[in-house]
Chains A and B, each alone.
Chain A
Amino acid sequence: MATAVSILPAQQLATLEEAYRSSVSRKRLKAALAAAIFCAALVIAAFGAEVNLRTLFTYFGNFVSYFDRILTLESGARVWTDFPEWFWGWKKWLRMLGETVLISYVGTLTGAVFAFALNFFAAQNTSPAPWLRFAVRRLLEFARTVPGIVFALIFVIAFGLGPMAGVLAIAIHSTGALGKLFAEIVENADMKPVEGIRSTGASWLSCMRFAVLPQVSAGYASYALLRFEINVREASVMGFVGAGGIGQELVVAIHKFYYSDVSAILVTIIITVFIIDISTGWLRGRLFGKETRR
């Protein structure tokens, strides 16, 4: 049988193989070194985090049996055999869930409005003055780096227990996160319309209104919807620190070992998050076409 692939002469092949080997071995050495450093970091981290495999193996049964317990009714039957008993508090839970969604809605909208007001100052191409841009950027960075629940903890003390603290915490965090994304959209906008408007003698404000805004508003709405989705999840735990919503019920159920209630509340949270995810995804697809769905 004739060979389809021609074989190179031996010495030519040898130099090629030599070059290949040395380049591969250098790469391998680098990878091995990186892996070793990474493993060392992991070991240090394991000591830092007090990882104890013995505890894990001893109590791993607890993890499995925890799910066993939260899926068992007080009568000893499985939860799904008796839905009315499992979801006995559904009226209250639905109200709390409604509150959770409302908290994230009001918080997201407030945050989006503030982000909208600030983002033109933060974007490189539209900011009227460098010092203003620097100040707004640092402000947004602060608002987005401090976790929302830390704001909630402080606001609960300032504004008292209740959903108001949760809304304000979500609003501040959303302002930070959305302000950055909005500013990035503005930086990607085409500047020719702005020059056109400015050449007619318009003020900075009219430039933003008539040249930038029409280009970027769809992107704004898309990001705001995405943020709403994330905030629903965040609002579901705001209750842990007393800032309203379903988290309050959940933390009580967990601490008081109302096992079947835990699973029922978790299921309602998961379903709510699904519904919000799917409906905002659908809405984004409707409003901005398929390509903006990410």
Chain B
Amino acid sequence: MSQLPKPNTEELRAKYPSAFDRPASARLALPAMTVAALAVFVYGLVDLDFSPSRLIAGLSQLGWITMLMIPPNPGASFPLYMQALGETLSIALLGTTLAALLALPVSLLAARNIIPSNLIRFPVRRFLDSIRGVDTLIWALVWINVVGLGPFAGVLAIMVSDFGAFGKLFSEAIEAADRKQVEGIRASGGNTLHEIRFGLLPQVLPVIAGQVLYFIESNTRSATIIGIVGAGGIGLQLAEQIRVLEWQKVSFLILMILIAVAAIDFISSKLRFAIIGQRAVA
């Protein structure tokens, strides 16, 4: 076998100085960052009371729990669970729709091409950010204080927390819209409302519809858990069964959630394709 000629390192070094003599700061940056990240990680493990013995004890406990979960069995509560699942789906659908309806006008205020003035846009955006910064579960707790325990509090919680997300997403969709149609409407003598209705909305509605469908899907997930704090739906049943250690029922409920989410995934992706076309989804 023939060997390749030995590389002439000196010549290469002279030819590509940037590859051979990188400054120390560039060479050290990655190791330094890795070490720092690891140091914070280890500090976190210590500070959060991680210990191997606890981990092993917990894992063996978890193994037991998993054994107890098999086979999944709803007992006599199957109709109750189906009703709870229906409640969850209702919460997701209603909460998302209401949020979208409320967010549409507000998102116009947050879009740069509708409201050029920073004076209005900035507070509206910070307001939306603050709503988004608070988790859905916290909103659920607040609404439980207002309308009492039950799925209605869940609807309102999803509505409020999605309002923040939609406001931001819609305003981004509006900002990405083409200016030319709006100018065309203005040139033919339309007023601002005409511009929005005929120039802007036809462009952004498909995008918005896609996002709303996507959120209905992801809210099915959120709606399954807000029951944990008492806002109705299947999470309520799940939290109760976990607390009384009925593991077969727990695994059955988790299975139900998985199937429901998969079904919603399937339906909403079909609908999204139908609304915005195959290639726009990507």
Contact = CB atoms under 8 A, between A and B. Distances in A.
A158 interface: yes
A59 B153 CA distance: 12
A120 interface: no
B87 A66 contact: no
A270 B41 CA distance: 24
A145 interface: yes
**Most chain B beta carbons < 10 A, residue from A47, A49, A102, A274:** A49
A66 B146 contact: yes
Contacts of B143: 63
Contacts of B261: 145
B142 interface: yes
Contacts of A56: 147, 152, 156
Contacts of B222: 147
A105 to B, nearest CB: 6
A113 to B, nearest CB: 10
Contacts of B141: 251, 254
Contacts of B147: 55-56, 59, 62
B135 interface: yes
Of listed A52, A102, A103, residue having the most chain B CB within 10 A: A102
Interface in A34-76: 41-42, 44-52, 55-56, 59-60, 62-63, 66
A121 interface: no
Interface residues of A, number: 56
B20 to A, nearest CB: 19
B47 interface: yes
Residue of A42, A106, A147, A154 ringed by the most chain B CB atoms within 10 A: A147
Interface of B: 37, 40-41, 43-45, 47-50, 54-55, 57-59, 61-62, 65, 86-87, 89-91, 93-94, 97, 129-130, 133-135, 137-138, 141-143, 145-148, 150-152, 154-156, 221-222, 224-225, 228-229, 232, 235, 238-239, 242, 245, 250, 254, 257-258, 261-262
The 9 closest A-B pairs by CB, nearest first: A48-B90, A159-B58, A45-B90, A106-B44, A49-B90, A270-B133, A273-B133, A163-B48, A158-B61
6 contacts: A106-B48, A150-B235, A159-B62, A167-B44, A233-B133, A254-B142
